[in-house]
Structures are given as C-alpha cells and as structure tokens.
C-alpha cells in the first residue's frame, strides 16, 4: 500500500489510501441535507426576479396563511436582527466604498436573486410553495451589467450612497515603468477577458440552525469551508455573544471557494433561530445557488509587456477591471489582489505596474473561486508570453527559457518585493517537454499545416507560478485584510497509545484526515490507524482559520509538525527522567527515545503518554498529560510552480476543439501524499479546462442570468475531458520545515492559458492571435470567419475516421 | 396533484378522455424538471410507463411500428439495423440513465425543436399514430409539431406509436453541441438515403421553430444522383455537389439566436453537418466506409 | 396520499406518499437512505443515480408512485455481508473520490455500465458516465476505478 520513503518516514511521501473514504463510498456520510433535528422547520427565500428594483412593499399575508407556514418576514421585518451588515473582511484600500449588505434586502434589490423575504414552514415543499405567494411590489430600475458601462459618466448607480460604481482602485508600481516602456524595442499589449464562472460544488449549500433558547446558545451547521471564520463574523453580524455560538461544518461536498463566505442564508437562519427558538433548515436548490452563491472571475485585463528585440522582458503593466457584482462579500475586493504580485510570472523584470479597479454591477457578487486572482495573473502572463514570442519570432518554449528566473534554492527577492521561496522552472519544463514529445508534435503540426488539413494541431505552453500558504499575518495586515493567516493544531496523546489530532483546517474533499495522520504517524512513531483527526467543529477545534487558498498543508500541516515537535520535547523530558539520563543523552527516532550507547534502554511516545497520564513520576515542573498545541504564523508565502503543455485539434469547419494531449509537471515542494496530489492536479486541470473551453455565466442586458441552471451552464463531464499525463519535480520550500508548497489550485491556475495558447497556435497561420474564453466551437468558428479563413463555406468532410457512433459532427455514426 | 397509473392502453385513453388537461408522463426527463421548477403544476398526470402496449415495437406493413414508450436504450440495442438514423440520434440523447427512461414518444410529446429524435423521424418520413377513445389517426411527423413545444395532439389524444420505414440504405445523424455529453443540440442534421426509391430525406433540428426538412437540398441531390447515374454506378460524388447540398441544407434552416448559439453559427454548422453526413452516407453506400 | 409498495435494497417497504413526491426524496426522507444525493434540479448531475429494476436511473426523474412494485437498489444496498462491492473497493484504491458527494451516483451508474458492456476502453467509460458530474477528481481516477472494478468483476472470483 504505502510506498515507504525511508525508515523515519514510513508514511509521509507514500500514496496512502484515504481514511475518509469508507463512509463516502457506502452512503453513510453526513452531508448537511442528510441531517435533521426533531421539530425542525424549513426555510425558503423569496428572491428578486429583477436585477435592480425598488422594493415598494412586501405583502406577506397570503403566504402566512398557506398550509404549514409558521412565519414570513420581509427585509424590513428583520432589520432589527442585525448588529451590522454581512461582512467584507478585505477592504483593500483606505477609501474603498463598501455598501451595507443586509441579509434580506430592505430598500432595493440589486441583483436577480437578491433575497427580499423569507418563509418558515413545516415542510420543504410547504416553504417553497409559500415563498411563491409572497407579493412583492417592485419598481424596476435601470440595470448596469457591463463593467465599462458601469464606469461611464452618468451610469445608473448600484448604490446611491456612492458617487459612482467604482468601489476601489488598487495600485502597485515598482521601478521606472513609464521609462522602461518608452525605451523598449518591443511593446506588446493585449486585452483579455475572464468569463464569469459559477463554482458548482456538486453539493449545494445548506444550513441548519439549532438554538437552545434556555441557555441562549446556538449551533449552526453549514456546508461551509470556514466554520471558524463564520463563528466570529456571524457573532458580529447578529450581535451574538461569540461564546454562545458553535459552528459545525459536517461532511462538505466540495467548495472551490463557493463555501468560503458568510452568506445571507447563514445569517438569516441564525437570526430566525434566535427569533423563533426552534431548529430550522435551509437547503439551496441548484438553480437558486446559481443566483445566490458567489460567482468567480469576470475580469477584464489590459496586459502589456516591454522587451528588447530578442524578447527579453524589461517591464510589465497590467490594468484590470474586476466585477464585484452588487455587493462586497467576504473577500470580494481582495480576489484580484491575490494575483497582483504575480503579473511577471516566473520571469525577470525591472519595472512593474499593476492597477485594479473594482466595479459594482447588478449581478451576483463575485468572490474566491479556485485559484482566486492567480488564474487571472497566470493567464495574462502566459498569453502575453506567446504574443511576445510571435512578435519576436521565437518559439513559445524559447521565449520562456530566455526569461526564466535562474534556479534558486534559497529565497530570492523579485521585482514586486516579494521573496520567492525556491524555484527551478527549467526542471519542470524540461520534464514536461520530454513527456509531451514536443518536437514530434511540432512536426505533426507542420505536416497538417502544409497539407491544409481540416483539423489543425495547436500546442500551448504555460509555465506558471502561484502564491499560496496565505499568509504571514503581518503581510495580510499591510494588505488591509482584517484577519490573520495563522493556523492551529493540537496533538493529544492518549494513555492507551492512541492519538487525537485537532486541526483548524476544514477539509471538504482534500484528504486532510489522511495526510495529517501520515505526518503525525511518522513524527510520533504511532500507527497511522491509531490516529484520529478532528476538524470542522468550533466546539472541538476552537482555534482555526479554515481551508482555502491552498493553505491547509503549508500552514495547518506545518502547525501540526510544530505541535509534534512540542510533544517530542515534553516527552523527551519525561523519558530522560524515567531512564535516569540527561536529555542530551537521548536519541529520538521513529517515536522512540533511546539512550546513546545503550539502545535497549528506551521509551516510546505511547509509553510516555501513559506515564504522563498517571503522573505518578513526572520530573519537577512537568504538567501531567501529553498534549500540545501549536499556532503557526508562516514567515512567508509559498510559491508552487510548474509547466503545463496542451495539444489541441481544431476542426476548422465547425470550430470544435479537442484536447489530444495534456501534460503537467507541477512542483509543490515536498510531497506528503502523491496520490492525493495527483487527484488535486487532475481536478484542478479539469476546472481550468472548463474555464478555457466550456463554462461562462451569461447575463442578458436586463441582468437576468441566461445560464440559469446546470442544463445550460456547461460543467464538463468525463466525456469532455482527456486523460492527463502528470508528474512532479520537487524543489522544497524554504518557508517551512516540511518543505511543502500547496497543490489545491495549481491545475486551475496553470491550465487555461495552456489550452487557449494551443487553440490560437493551431489557427496562427490564419492570422488569428486572439480568442476569448471559453473557446467554444462558435467562438473559434467566428474567429476563423473574421480572419477570412478559407473554410467558412460548407464543404464535404475530409475526415472519415472510425465512427465513434455518437452522432457527433466528428465521425459517422454506425447504424449497426 | 393526482397521478393516474393505467396499466392498459384502453385505460390510458379513458383516463385522458376523462382528464383532458392531464399531462402524460413517459420517461419523466422533461416533465419532472418542469415540475421541479414549478413551470407546470398539472392537476393530473397520466403515468404511461405501465402500459405494456406502449413498450413494444413490431413490424407492420413492412415498416416498424415503434410504441411511444420504447426507451432509447432499447432503440439503440434492438433497432440499430432497421432504424439506423434514429438509433444514432438516440445515442446522443442525454446520458445512459436518461436513455434508460426517455422515449421517442416523449420527445415528440415535448415537441422541442431541439429534440434529438425528431430530425431522423423527419428524414425518414415517419408517421405518428395518435389515439383517443374515439379512434386513431395517423399524422406525418412534419405536420405533428406546429410550433416550439406545441403539437397537434387533441386534449383527449395520446401518442400511440411512431411508424417508420425500414432503412433501405445508409442513414446518418450529426449533432453540434457546445460540448460532447448531455448536451442540448445547437443544431442537428439527419440524412436518409433510400436507393430503391431513388430518394433522399433530410431532417434539421434546433434550427427552426419545428424540426424542418431541407426539401431543396433533397431534390438537388436526387437530381445529381439521377443525372450522373450514381445510384447504379455507386461512383464518387463530386465535392461541388456535396458543398451545394450543404449550402441548400443550411439555407433551409430558420434558426434564432439564443444562449446556446447564434443563428449564423447554426446555419453554418448545418451546412458542414449536411456535407459530412452526406459524405459518410455516400461512402457507406459505395462500400468504402 | 398514495400507498406504494416497493423493495429497496432487498427490504420490502409499504409507505404513503404524496403523488408529487420525487423518488429521491422518498428514499432520503421517508426511508432515511441519505446516501443518494441531490446535486441539481435539472436531471443533469447524476448524483441521485440509483438502480430501478436493475437499470440505472436518476431518481429525480421518477415520482415515488412510479416506483410502486419496483426493485430499487441504492448505494446503501451495494455492499454485501460487510464486504464492499468491487466498485466501492476500486474507488477507494484508485482514489476515485474526493469530497464524495457525486460518488454514490457515480458508482451506481458504473454498476449498470459494467453490467451492460464488455471490455471497455477508457473512452467508453467516459462516454458511459456522461450523465454524472464530478467537480473534484477531473474524472481520471474515476475512469481508473471503473476499469479496475470491471476487470475484477469479470475475472473469476479470486480465492
């Protein structure tokens, strides 16, 4: 089962099978909708069909008389429940405009889906039925959907209290930017758009509030990534004593950032629990979630690079418009800033400029979606590298090698002032090129070009970097984030030799229970199976900052390492006392202290845990028990990187694009569990390909979401995705003693430019140098048509390959 | 809401007569989504899945009489040689779970212009058998659908069966979606070659208010095949003829812009699909596929 | 309310249901078989896939009353005598799941897929699972899991 790394590391580095799986495989898992509490009522929200409207009145009388209905409230009815609006924890500038965001809208609805009333009934269908009968008198207002239109003079304002729709302008300038661009032999400028994305964790959101009125206590169960942050922020939003609130994340079915928020439904269910004193449950329907759960991306980038005539980069300049949607959710304004320092990628530059304007529109708020800010940066950098390569007549690989930062294994400062922890960008690219068969594919591409094949081949390169392990708390302070970036871990060694680990991370598919067990098993020499990992309940794990931003291992895992060190330190004192030697005379390996020169005299951690529990014979000043907590505040970010290569086949008649080969070589530092890493990379690439080729939330001019359900928002299935060939290089991080960097978002960050660069590369002979994501068949066809391509007219197919029999436009279906 | 569950065709028709507003339920793949979204709240649903007669197909007058309740999985498994165009189209419907329950009759009942099964029915000149307690009538498929999601079914009628001729030559179906799987067609095209009758049939999906025929394309191709004696010689079809066929098919469409695709792209892709399906079908006829 | 009688995972149930109740909610809320998950409202995601009379079906496309008299199998009924089904085992060993929410539906769809198809290529499996969405795995290890289980289920039981 486990690939044994070395004697001391029996588990770390091995592809250990997951402890989490049995309940998930047998239907025994407990997701939020699987839970119920006796006497529980159901909550349903009434949502505005208008993207922008004044709420003249809300008549709840008919709904209140519906069968089973216990209560109906408008926003005004609940106004007194709030000590404050829903929180935005990242006001990125001093003068940012942060609108009040009431959980239930009071004066106006500002996006289609904004909650305007809430119904409580005895059953789920009763709540849904009654919600339809709430009579809201809306006065529709002009709508702003497009960011540039929203910023134009005289545009309709999303929030009347502000002078315009600009929430903030955030800027970072380093070096003589103007001069570098003026002096450059080559300047390339392009405009990119990141589609608005709907995260689509397969489990919809849901909340259960269980009040204990006699004690004034509340337990809130939520399908969330952030139980700890929820507890603090909801206590503030509701004016609830924090010590009376317990938040539990049960089994959570995926997040990708969509459950990294403090939502109106969570606050409302808690308020209703306080008001009514009974347990309540709300479960989102998928189509409701498309409106009420945060979206991602929706960013326009003007990207520029200055270089010499060989393509050696001197400066970069990025100017962004980022769509906030109608309100600022938990970290909405900060998302573009998570990429702000990475617009030079893995390349050298002397001058750097980044500006982002956050824009209000009448759309669902945006916030963190897998990658958050870094896919945007990587896409702009890797697209412009290809554009630069075309301009100076170089191969995409060559232009990257020319500009790579040279390998470094000690932290080095880069143009933005950040310190990259370690990196070897050539190594991952070399390995990827080798796996890909780059030269052979280029030869095949040339052959098809010369033959004028209907199906052209394109090759895309993406050598990405990201920053993870968010973050040193002081750095977060300087970026005006209102919380810290630390993480906590506790190790409790039981007298029976078993171990309980308590983590502040909150996994929802990432396999922390397994990976954390591996770390502790090796460090304390206890069996992997003898370790229980507890998480996701603020009553059990009081200290934590939860899971997002690829932070769990590089912060939470490292906290665990330090907690284990503390356990060993205390155990060493006890062992020395029991063995009647000095601590210096003890050697520690694989969970056993042995006396130097007398290895038969030894004590194991479980033995010491027992004596620490009996406390019959402890050294003076040593407290009974063997339990340690460590809170780790990382000294720096980590900077995972890697090389992704993609080959696509573009049908120049239909515009259909298919990935024919995808290779990824990622460097996430030291590996704790290569199998889990592989899974993270696969899933990440799939989500990136989804952005590049399939997914886009589309609004009409009235602010109505056209891609309103899973049937027309195109989450790819297995049938759309290729088999990925993946491998790793290992350049240990210098930020932490485990040498780990993080892998949760790498695939999503790296893959979109690989796919889009490949698609453009396939069509480059037609003079095509740009197609927006998603590169849908129609977009590709339109690009070919606009380029005056020769293939716009219908003509017979040249390809009659073996029929897949699926009735595609690709191959004939076989009748028999 | 009431759900009636007749177990015989007679009971089903009697139920429909008694409840003319009742909505028939076959595979449930369209109706239950509508119930979910509360777009429809019928007082009565007639569950037809227990009517054994609907779940059978048979040979009638040299053709196939396909019971309206036969699911797509069975069409693929049992009728691939007799109704190849319909079988190919059936493979592109939904997903295995949906094909296990969804039916050609249900696709007709919904009458969406994007219904995947409809273009092959049009291309092969299917006739739809409609029944009421008062009697039965047979309507050509092209007359059955009259507008998006509207058809000629009278309030007391149910779809009994689909009548289709057994294939005498190659049939093809092609569909362009925005992805491979579970996709609602952006446009689709079905082609039937009938060598004994020297005739060509076409069906266009998702590019008009109802499934359409490309009549001019059919006449053009029949003309070329006759004039050049290609039915008998099984000779090569000129690239120009294939292109012209595609162009005429494209011109026969009446598409609109919607969230799935623009009218321009639909028109264009129909031309490509018509050309390709013809090339595939003709290669098959020549025995060179 | 309507009375229905059906067999779920080998156990006979008689129950009263609302005519409009979907089968998936009957299983989850009345029989407390919460392993079958709901991920959408458009019959798209496949998380609610079960077997009805041995064939895979999305339990959101059936009314509970339609299952009257049927044999239903859900994820809870797959293991036997405490032994995981080869698909459950394969998903574990090939890391075919992460958050696990789509997993019951994915496995139930795979049961039908393997039963109705002989030797499948990876591409066949991908097409065969087109009705089941997963957001975590990128599907690669799901395909691997199904391939592993298919091999195991076809080869004579090892001793």
Predicted local confidence at residue B40, as pLDDT: 75
Predicted local confidence at residue B182, as pLDDT: 65
Which chain C residues have a beta carbon less than 8 Å from that of B73? 55
Residues present in chain C in total = 159
Q: Tell me how far apart the alpha carbons of residues A475 and A483 are, in angstroms, rounded to a whole number.
A: 11
- The pLDDT tens digits of the residues spanning B231-288 come to 999 999 999 999 999 999 999 999 999 888 999 999 999 999 999 999 999 999 999 6
B284–A719 C-beta distance less than 8 A = no
C98–A679 C-beta distance less than 8 A = yes
Which chain C residues have a beta carbon less than 8 Å from that of B98? 43, 58, 61, 131
Q: Are residues C53 and C104 in the same domain?
A: no
- Among residues C77, C97, C132, the one where a domain terminates is C77
Q: Tell me how far apart the alpha carbons of residues A292 and A699 are, in angstroms, rounded to a whole number.
A: 15
- Of A570, A564, A554, A419, the residue nearest A487 (C-alpha): A554
Nearest to C46 among B49, B95, B101 (CB): B95
Tell me the average confidence (pLDDT) per consecutive run of 10 residues in chain A, 816 residues long: 49 96 98 97 98 98 97 98 98 98 98 98 95 97 98 97 98 97 98 98 98 97 98 98 98 98 98 98 97 98 98 98 98 98 96 98 98 98 98 98 97 96 97 98 98 97 94 93 96 98 97 98 97 98 95 97 98 98 96 95 97 97 98 96 98 96 98 97 98 97 96 94 98 96 96 98 96 96 85 34 46 62
C36–A25 C-beta distance less than 8 A = no
Q: Is the Cβ–Cβ distance between A194 and A696 less than 8 Å?
A: no
> How close A740 comes to chain B (CA, Å)?
37
Q: Tell me how far apart the alpha carbons of residues A679 and B266 are, in angstroms, rounded to a whole number.
A: 38
Q: Are residues C69 and C96 in the same domain?
A: no
Tell me which residue range forms the domain holding C43. Answer: 2-77
Residue C159 lies in a domain: no
Who's near A55: CB < 8 A, 6+ residues apart? A48, A74, A75, A105, A106, A107, A108, A109, A116, A136, A137, A138
Q: Is the Cβ–Cβ distance between A467 and A634 less than 8 Å?
A: no
Predicted local confidence at residue A794, as pLDDT: 35
Could you give the domains of chain B?
171-286 (3.30.390.50)
Q: Are residues C110 and C147 in the same domain?
A: yes
Q: Are residues C46 and C13 in the same domain?
A: yes
Of chain C, the percentage scoring pLDDT greater than 90 comes to 93
Q: Tell me how far apart the alpha carbons of residues B250 and B267 are, in angstroms, rounded to a whole number.
A: 5
Residue C143 lies in a domain: yes
Structure tokens at A198: 């709907």
> How close B284 comes to chain C (CA, Å)?
24
Partner C contacted by B5 (CB < 8 A) = yes
Q: Is the Cβ–Cβ distance between A111 and A53 less than 8 Å?
A: no
In a 10 Å sphere around its CB, with 0-12 CB exposed, 13-18 middle and 19+ buried, how is residue C56 labelled?
Answer: buried
- Among residues C77, C108, C140, the one where a domain terminates is C77
- Please give the DSSP secondary-structure letter assigned to residue A26: H
Q: Tell me how far apart the alpha carbons of residues A236 and A242 are, in angstroms, rounded to a whole number.
A: 8
Interface test with B, best of C16, C24, C39, C66 (most B CBs within 10 A): C66
Q: How confident is the model at residue C154 (pLDDT cuts 50, 70, 90)?
A: confident
Residue C68 lies in a domain: yes
* DSSP three-state, residue A218: strand
Q: Are residues C10 and C73 in the same domain?
A: yes
C143–A675 C-beta distance less than 8 A = no
Residue C145 lies in a domain: yes
Predicted local confidence at residue A8, as pLDDT: 57
- Among residues C77, C106, C131, the one where a domain terminates is C77
B49–C66 C-beta distance less than 8 A = yes
* Alpha-carbon distances of B99 from A758, B54, B70, rounded to whole Å: 35, 16, 10
Which residues, listed in sequence order, are joined to residue B136 by a DSSP beta bridge? Answer: B131
- Please give the DSSP secondary-structure letter assigned to residue A552: I
User: Torsions phi, psi of C4, nearest 5?
Assistant: -130, 160
For residue C102, give the CATH number of its domain. 1.10.150.120
User: Torsions phi, psi of A785, nearest 5?
Assistant: -65, -45
Partner C contacted by B25 (CB < 8 A) = yes
Nearest to C109 among B49, B73, B96 (CB): B96
- Of C128, A451, A781, A756, the residue nearest B273 (C-alpha): A781
Q: Are residues C7 and C72 in the same domain?
A: yes
Work out whether the CA dihedral A25, A29, A32, A37 comes out positive or negative. positive
The number of C-beta contacts closer than 8 angstroms across B and C is 84
Is residue B180 pLDDT above 70, yes or no? no
Q: Is the Cβ–Cβ distance between B73 and B96 less than 8 Å?
A: yes
Q: Is the Cβ–Cβ distance between A71 and A119 less than 8 Å?
A: yes
ipTM (interface predicted TM): 0.97
Q: Is the Cβ–Cβ distance between C65 and C123 less than 8 Å?
A: no
Q: What is the 3-state secondary structure (H, E, C) of chain C?
A: CEEEEEEECCEEEEEEECCCCEHHHHHHHHCCCCCCCCCCCCCCCCCCEEEECCEEEECCCCEHHHHCCCEEECHHHCCECCECCHHHHHHHHCCCCCCCCCHHHHHHHHHHHHHHCCCCCHHHHHHHCCCCCCCCCCCHHHHHHHHHHHHHHHCCCCC
Q: How many domains does chain C have?
A: 2
A683–C135 C-beta distance less than 8 A = yes
- Please give the DSSP secondary-structure letter assigned to residue A689: H
C132–B28 C-beta distance less than 8 A = no
Question: In A626-759, where do the E strands start and end?
Answer: 626-632, 641-651, 657-667, 724-728
C100–A686 C-beta distance less than 8 A = no
- The pLDDT tens digits of the residues spanning C25-57 come to 999 999 999 999 999 999 999 999 999 999 999
Partner C contacted by A715 (CB < 8 A) = yes
Which residues, listed in sequence order, are joined to residue A468 by a DSSP beta bridge? Answer: A638
* DSSP three-state, residue A734: coil
* DSSP three-state, residue A661: strand
- Please give the DSSP secondary-structure letter assigned to residue A2: P
Could you give the domains of chain A?
32-141+204-252+259-292 (3.90.1170.50), 296-469+636-786 (3.30.365.10), 486-578+606-632 (3.30.365.10)
Residue C107 lies in a domain: yes
For residue C36, give the CATH number of its domain. 3.10.20.30
Q: Is the Cβ–Cβ distance between A682 and C140 less than 8 Å?
A: yes
Partner B contacted by C56 (CB < 8 A) = yes
C22–B32 C-beta distance less than 8 A = yes
Q: Tell me how far apart the alpha carbons of residues A313 and A346 are, in angstroms, rounded to a whole number.
A: 11
Structure tokens at B159: 């779809």
Q: Are residues C142 and C110 in the same domain?
A: yes
- The pLDDT tens digits of the residues spanning C63-93 come to 999 999 999 999 999 998 889 999 999 999 9
C39–A715 C-beta distance less than 8 A = no
Q: Are residues C33 and C93 in the same domain?
A: no
Concatenate the DSSP letters of all residues of B56-67 into one string: -EEEETTEEEEE
Nearest to A812 among B176, B184, B289 (CB): B289
- The pLDDT tens digits of the residues spanning C113-143 come to 999 998 999 999 999 999 999 999 999 999 9
Is residue B46 pLDDT above 50, yes or no? yes
């Amino acid at each position: 089962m486990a690939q044994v790394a070395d004697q001391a590391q029996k588990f770390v580095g091995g592809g250990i099978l997951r402890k989490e799986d049995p309940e998930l495989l047998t239907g025994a898992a407990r997701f939020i909708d699987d839970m119920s509490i006796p006497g529980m009522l159901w909550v349903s929200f009434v949502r505005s069909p208008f993207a922008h409207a004044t709420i003249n009145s809300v008549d709840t009388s008919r709904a209140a008389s519906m069968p089973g209905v216990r209560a109906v409230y408008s926003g005004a009815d609940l106004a007194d429940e709030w000590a404050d609006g829903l929180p935005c924890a990242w006001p990125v500038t001093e003068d940012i405009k942060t609108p009040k965001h009431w959980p239930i809208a009071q004066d106006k609805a500002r996006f289609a889906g904004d909650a305007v009333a809430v119904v409580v009934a005895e059953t789920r269908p009763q709540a849904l039925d009654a919600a339809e009968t709430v009579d809201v008198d809306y006065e529709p207002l002009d709508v702003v959907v497009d960011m540039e239109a929203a910023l134009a003079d005289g545009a309709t304002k999303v929030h009347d209290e502000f002078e315009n729709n600009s929430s903030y302008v955030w800027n970072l300038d380093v070096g003589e930017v103007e001069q570098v661009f003026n002096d450059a032999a080559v300047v390339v400028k392009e405009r990119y758009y990141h589609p608005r994305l709907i995260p689509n964790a397969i489990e919809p959101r849901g909340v259960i509030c269980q009040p204990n009125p006699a004690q004034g206590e509340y337990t809130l169960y939520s399908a969330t990534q952030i139980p700890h942050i929820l507890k603090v922020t909801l206590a503030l939003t509701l004016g609830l004593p924090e010590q009376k609130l317990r938040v539990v994340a049960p089994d959570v079915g995926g997040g990708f950032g969509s459950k990294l928020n403090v939502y109106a439904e969570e606050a409302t269910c808690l308020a209703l629990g306080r008001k009514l004193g009974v347990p309540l449950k709300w479960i989102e329907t998928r189509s409701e979630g498309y409106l009420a759960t945060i979206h991602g991306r929706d960013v326009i980038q003007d990207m520029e690079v200055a270089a010499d005539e060989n393509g050696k980069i001197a400066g970069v300049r990025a100017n962004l418009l980022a769509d906030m949607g109608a309100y600022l959710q938990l970290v909405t304004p900060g998302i573009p800033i998570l990429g702000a320092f990475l617009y030079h990628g893995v390349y050298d530059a002397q001058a750097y400029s980044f500006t982002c304007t956050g824009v209000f529109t009448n759309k669902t708020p945006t916030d963190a979606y897998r990658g958050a800010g870094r896919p945007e940066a990587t896409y702009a950098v890797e697209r412009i590298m290809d554009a630069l390569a075309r301009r100076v007549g170089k191969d995409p690989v060559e232009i990257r090698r020319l500009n790579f930062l040279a390998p470094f294994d000690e932290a080095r400062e880069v143009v933005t002032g950040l310190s990259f922890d370690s990196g070897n960008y050539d190594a991952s690219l070399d390995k990827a090129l080798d796996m890909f068969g780059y030269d052979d594919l280029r030869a095949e591409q040339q052959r098809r070009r010369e033959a004028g094949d209907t199906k052209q081949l394109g090759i895309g390169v993406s050598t990405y970097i990201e920053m993870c392990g968010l973050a040193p708390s002081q750095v977060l302070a300087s970026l005006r984030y209102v919380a810290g970036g630390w993480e906590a871990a506790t190790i409790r060694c039981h007298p029976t030799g078993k171990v309980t680990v308590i983590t502040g991370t909150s996994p929802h598919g990432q396999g922390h229970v397994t990976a954390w067990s591996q770390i502790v098993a090796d460090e304390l020499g206890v069996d992997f199976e003898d370790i229980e990992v507890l998480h996701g309940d603020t009553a059990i794990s009081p200290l934590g900052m939860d899971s997002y931003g690829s932070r769990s291992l590089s912060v939470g895992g490292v906290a665990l390492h330090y907690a284990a060190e503390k356990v060993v330190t205390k155990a060493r004192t006890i062992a020395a006392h029991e063995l009647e030697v000095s601590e210096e005379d003890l050697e520690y390996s694989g969970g056993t202290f042995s006396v130097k020169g007398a290895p038969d005299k030894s004590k194991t951690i479980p033995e010491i845990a027992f004596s620490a529990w009996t406390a019959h014979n402890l050294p003076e000043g040593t407290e009974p028990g063997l339990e340690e907590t460590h809170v780790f505040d990382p000294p720096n970010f980590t900077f995972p990187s890697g090389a992704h290569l993609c080959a696509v086949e573009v049908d120049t008649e239909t515009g259909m694009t298919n990935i024919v080969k995808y290779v990824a070589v990622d460097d996430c530092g030291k590996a704790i569990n290569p199998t889990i890493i592989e899974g993270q990379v696969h899933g990440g690439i799939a989500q990136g390909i989804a952005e590049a080729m399939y997914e886009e939330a589309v609004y009409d001019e009235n602010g109505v979401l056209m891609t309103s359900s899973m049937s027309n928002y195109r989450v790819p299935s297995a049938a759309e995705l290729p088999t990925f060939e993946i491998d790793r290089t290992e350049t240990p991080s210098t930020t932490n003693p485990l040498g780990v960097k993080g892998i949760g978002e790498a695939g999503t960050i790296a893959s979109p430019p690989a796919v889009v660069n490949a698609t453009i590369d396939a069509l480059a002979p037609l003079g095509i140098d740009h197609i927006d994501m998603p590169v849908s068949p129609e977009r590709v066809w339109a690009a070919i048509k606009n380029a005056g391509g020769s293939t716009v007219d219908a003509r017979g197919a040249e390809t009659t390959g073996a029929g897949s029999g699926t009735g595609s436009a690709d191959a004939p279906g076989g009748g028999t | 809401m009431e759900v009636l569950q007749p177990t015989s065709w007679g009971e089903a028709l009697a139920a429909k007569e008694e409840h003319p507003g009742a909505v028939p339920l076959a595979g449930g793949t369209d109706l239950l989504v509508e119930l979910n979204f509360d777009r429809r709240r019928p007082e009565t649903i007639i569950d037809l899945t227990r009517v054994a007669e609907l779940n059978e197909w048979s040979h009638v007058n040299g053709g196939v009489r396909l019971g309206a309740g036969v699911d797509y999985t069975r069409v693929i498994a049992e009728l691939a040689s007799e109704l190849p165009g319909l079988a190919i189209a059936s493979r592109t419907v939904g997903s295995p779970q949906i094909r296990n329950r969804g039916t050609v009759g249900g696709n007709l009942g919904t009458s969406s212009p994007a219904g995947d099964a409809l273009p092959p029915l049009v291309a092969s000149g299917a006739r739809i058998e409609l029944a009421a307690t008062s009697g039965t009538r047979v309507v050509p498929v092209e007359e059955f659908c009259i507008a998006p999601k509207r058809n000629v079914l009278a309030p007391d009628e149910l779809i009994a069966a689909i009548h289709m001729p057994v294939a005498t030559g190659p049939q093809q179906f092609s569909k362009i979606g925005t992805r491979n799987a579970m996709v609602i067609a952006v446009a689709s095209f079905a082609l039937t070659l009938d060598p004994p009758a020297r005739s060509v049939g076409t069906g266009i999906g998702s590019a008009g208010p109802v499934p359409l025929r490309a009549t001019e394309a059919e006449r053009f191709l029949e003309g070329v095949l006759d004039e050049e004696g290609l039915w008998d010689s099984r000779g090569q079809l000129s690239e120009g003829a294939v292109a012209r066929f595609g162009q005429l098919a494209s011109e026969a469409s009446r598409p609109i812009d919607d969230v799935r695709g623009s009218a321009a792209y639909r028109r264009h892709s129909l031309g490509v699909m018509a050309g390709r399906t013809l090339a595939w079908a003709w290669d098959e006829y020549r025995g060179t596929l | 309310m309507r009375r229905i009688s059906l067999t779920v995972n080998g156990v006979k149930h008689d129950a009263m249901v609302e005519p409009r109740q979907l089968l998936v909610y009957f299983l989850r809320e009345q029989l407390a078989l919460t392993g079958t998950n709901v991920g959408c409202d458009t019959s798209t995601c496949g998380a609610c896939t079960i077997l009805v009379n041995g064939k895979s079906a999305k339990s959101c496309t059936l009314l509970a009353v339609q299952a009257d008299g049927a044999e239903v199998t859900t994820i809870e009924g797959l293991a036997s005598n405490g032994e995981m089904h080869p698909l459950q085992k394969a998903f574990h060993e090939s890391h075919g799941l992460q958050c696990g929410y789509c997993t019951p539906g994915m496995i139930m769809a795979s049961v039908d897929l393997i039963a109705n198809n002989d030797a499948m290529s990876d591409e066949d499996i991908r097409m065969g699972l087109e009705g089941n969405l997963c957001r975590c795995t990128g599907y690669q290890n799901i395909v691997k899991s199904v391939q592993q289980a298919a091999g195991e289920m076809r080869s004579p039981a090892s001793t």
